Structure 1
Amino acid sequence: MRHFPSVLGWALMAGLALGPMAPVQAQSAGGFSPVITVNGLAITGYEIAQRARFMELLGAKGDVRKMAEEALINDRLQSWKAQTLGITPSRDAVTKGMAEFAARANLSTEDFLKALGEAGVEGQTYRDFVASGMIWREVVKATYGGGRIQISDAEIDRALAIAPPQGTEPEPPKVLLSEIVVRNFPGRDAETMAKARKAAAAKTEADFAAMAKELSSSPTASKGGRLEWMPVTALPPEVRETVMSMSPGHASAPIQTPNSVSVFFMRGLDEGGPLTPQTQALGYATLLLGASGSPEAAAWHAKAEAEAQRCDDLYSVAGTLPPDRLERVDGARAGQVPADIARILPRMDIGEMQVVARGGNDLLVMLCDRGRALNAAVGETGPSREATRDKLLNARVGDMADRLLAQLRAEAVIVRK
């Protein structure tokens, strides 16, 4: 289901407070006859009028009818894709989704529907809106789910580096970008977004540069949209998160920026210098395998190599061993790591294992992560690795969902009558 900023909850409540409105008349909006078809799926004038009114209640400004048309076209594309995948939301799921959305305005579903009705919006319009969002979520999950989107430890380290804890000044990553900025004139939202989607479909830097000269309103258009190296912290927040989820050689999805829609192509990425011993924190795990050279130690070592790709996997590997044979250490600073382990960790990659001898036993060591150290004594705080992973994953999924929708629009047969 779509996620709206909380400010729209207030806008919705304000819109509903505008007072009763006469029901939208079907004949005044083109009736119940199709006025647009999308891959054979019809959109009526009445649906457009209803969606426009609903969007007004959500605080939409500008050419709301045009925005409603575009939103309904997207809904039909998403429904068409869902049909090809055999996806249909259950009635109970839609009912639950309606209740969750209504709760954002501190209303029950019944009170929400009553308020919408008084403002001229039918309950079916609201149900269709919620169902469409749920359908798209399931389409995206079916298309990109199942672990097909992975966030690497290096990406998490890079993301954490751009939001350093208080009291540290690490060098932020630098990016080499090209830009296409499509200016958005009043009443031309659909045209603007169409140009931006065309730019987002660029496969190569040369293609992107050619489109920049054709489409971009930025002064960089004459240079194919090329920008110089810049720290990622210099980018606006709405751009930074998307850029940090990109990899070189790819274009971003369209990004809404003030009075325009922007698309970026990443030509290069410099992750910055290595962390210093003073700012570096290492996370690692150790597993006591057994006596050095024993069959037991060899067997546990082989099991770990076969089954563990990251530190979390060691918990299942060591499932039948006494708990004290597996130890996990997070955020260890220089001087806090035992000497025998400290000698090997700097040369290891995240997820790599090595065995050291300790007191007649073999000790398996795995590097879990390498990041910025936080000093709680001086009040340093920072996002957790899991929270950062989730944030990057959501951004990646959102970007791929935008690309999928752009592809569906590019391939669709849309007929306006």
Structure 2
Amino acid sequence: MTDERRMRMRMRLTPLLGMALALGLTVTDVAAQAATTNSPFAPVILVNGLGITGYEIEQRMRFMQLLRQPGDLHKAAEKSLIEDRLRVWAAKQAGIVLDKDAVGKGMTEFAGRANLTSEQFVAELAKTGVDEPTFRDFVTAGLVWRELVKQRFGPRVRISDSDIDRAMLMESERGGGTRVLISEIILPAPPGQEAAAHAEAEKISQLRSEAAFAEAARQMSAASTRDNGGRLDWMPLDNLPPALRPVLLGLAPGQASAPIELNGAVAIFMMRSIDEHGPAGTRAQTLGYATLALGPAGSEQAAQLAQKAAAAKRCDDLYTVVKGLPVSPVSRPDPAPQGALPKDIALALAGLDIGETTVLTRGAGQELVMLCSREAAVDDTKGETAPNRDAVRARLQNERMGSYSDSYLADLTANAVIVRP
């Protein structure tokens, strides 16, 4: 392609505006006159004073076809070029100037996605009639926009440890499998009273009414859900201990389970509803948790510690709660698979998000339990690796910057002066 042709292809509205002022014409008049010419290098769309030629639209269509973009390519090419003009226009307004080597590096990076060098990628483009300036303009618009978004919104993006914790809760799997809506009753079974607790649990397991089960929970349950009739919120089946999953899946709505023995207690569950968005969960989880021994159930000490612990947002905060006590009642076991945890602990953690707590009655005492972490169990034999916090942080940063970018571009588009002859 000759230098003259390239210069003509890159025509923008700036010289046309000078002509318009000299002749006393409006921007619309200039666009209309440009449209009457047969030149493929005449602007056919004007965006905030920058022109888009018919040749550029054709080139972008060919480029999109090579990238296997579906849909109406002409419409998509126009939209893409309009947005690129806005990106370049906004970057220029912000005084952004690319380093002389930045565009070359950007072209190399883009070509590398196809495992090609920049030269090889340009050669492949040429086979389909796409010239190098089209590729260069595309990359340049993306680079100046990336720098503009970084400067404008970068200081607003702050990813906290809590954000990373939540992102590592396997949110992509939550709701994708089976969810259950259940109610619980936990009956204390201290030493010497196990038989009586089991007998009472047997009676409760025969209930077939949610209302009757809720009333029994309010009267007899030692769980923190008693005031709510034992009702738990929707939870993924994966969150529950593996041994309990088949028990719950075998229940019909309104049916209670047989008594389940826990550590110093007996549990009964009633299925209220089941939501099967996919196959039943089988993914193993590794849970980290902390416990705070509150003291004898109903004692003033237990009430005071529970009140202080209510302000804790993370497991590390529990050590502040007990600061000054002669012996720390906080226990922080190493993270372990669900199946390796005590049954009552595993059940308590099933309905918690990171930083949330619940109170268990274990024998004559009470313990506060807080969930510290919930991650997918790693199977070394399958080549699986543990989640990387740095990678999660980078992903969250990119997602938030992407959200700012999309919103900003939408605002620019809404306020742009776009003229079509």
Measured against the shorter chain, the TM-score band is: 0.3 to 0.5
Q: TM-score, normalised by structure 2?
A: 0.45
Highest CA radius of gyration, 1 or 2? 2
